[in-house]
Amino acid sequence: AVLGDGPEALSLAPGTVPPSSVVLAGTRAFDPAEASRAADLAATVTADQLADPATLAEAVEATGASAVFVHIDLDVLDPAALGGVIEPVPFGIDVPQLVAALQRLRSATPLAGAAITGFAPASPAAAVDDLGAILRVVGALV
């Protein structure tokens, strides 16, 4: 959507944010269309690479950005760390890794804004089970 490729009501105008300004982090599974689009981006940081908290900050810094908007789709987390996501994919990162990467990024580049998406708990009780993890992610952003 940030590249102008989504539904009109949810997307920016094409060209508003160039692909050379976008870093996609926490990747581990692409469909063919996503893989093609990811090749155009400034960087793709895999979930394994996020084990080093500096990797994300360095990838963003390499774009020359003076500020960063962080979009967190919660399925970046391993399903063992957070169960209530739309598309759980194994071998994601754990909450401490995400928090460390976000803290390092925030220490290097001012935060312009953030979004957290993809939370889809099966029940109110399941939502409560995931609340601690989500609050730690929010805490890393504020």
Note the pTM of the prediction, 2 decimals. 0.90
Residue 125 CB neighbours (<10 A): 8
DSSP output for 26-87: EE----HHHHHHHTTSSEEEETGGGGSTHHHHHHHHHTT-SSEEEEEEGGGB-TTT---BSS
Q: What is the tens place of the pLDDT at every residue in 77-129?
A: 999 999 999 888 899 999 999 999 999 999 999 999 999 999 999 999 999 99
Q: Say what the pLDDT of residue 49 is.
A: 93
Residues 6+ apart with CB under 8 A from 77: 85, 92, 93, 94, 95, 98, 133
Q: Say what the pLDDT of residue 8 is.
A: 87
